[in-house]
Amino acid sequence: MIRQLSHIGIAVRDLDASIALFEKIFQPAAIHREVVPEQKVEVASFMVGNARLELIAPTAPDSPIARFLEQRGQGIHHLAFETDDLTTELGRIAEEGIQLINRTPSAGAHEMLIAFLHPKSTGGVLIELCQHTHRQQ
């Protein structure tokens, strides 16, 4: 079952410049930074109320975020929703006829497993499903 919005992913070219900009706007209490080698990105995230914003910059020219930036420029990349059982949800969604980008979960930021639904099947919106690894069944 999909439980809640986890975060909004924003693709950026320059992570440090973007952090400086968003600090001016939102004045976050803390910013979490990490590199996710499997996704070839560096992530900076912070809370705005109950919502997490995730700034995502490529660490390699062949990363999905680098391709997104080339094609569309900076901006909202995806909406992410939490589930307690990612594998089961992927199976259920595939049975509903929704095209998956990832049939199996992979490692993401914040010690989460992640998988994406193809925007061709979701009205043009890239949707990420995620699960905290400590909740893995």
pTM of the model: 0.90
- Per-residue pLDDT of the chain (137 residues), as tens digits, is 899 999 999 999 999 999 999 999 999 999 999 999 999 999 999 999 988 999 999 999 999 999 999 999 999 999 999 999 999 999 999 999 999 999 999 999 999 999 999 999 999 999 999 999 874 44
One-letter amino acid identity for 64? Answer: P
Q: Which domains does the chain have, with CATH numbers?
A: 2-135 (3.10.180.10)
Q: What pLDDT is recorded for position 35?
A: 97
Q: What pLDDT is recorded for position 28?
A: 95
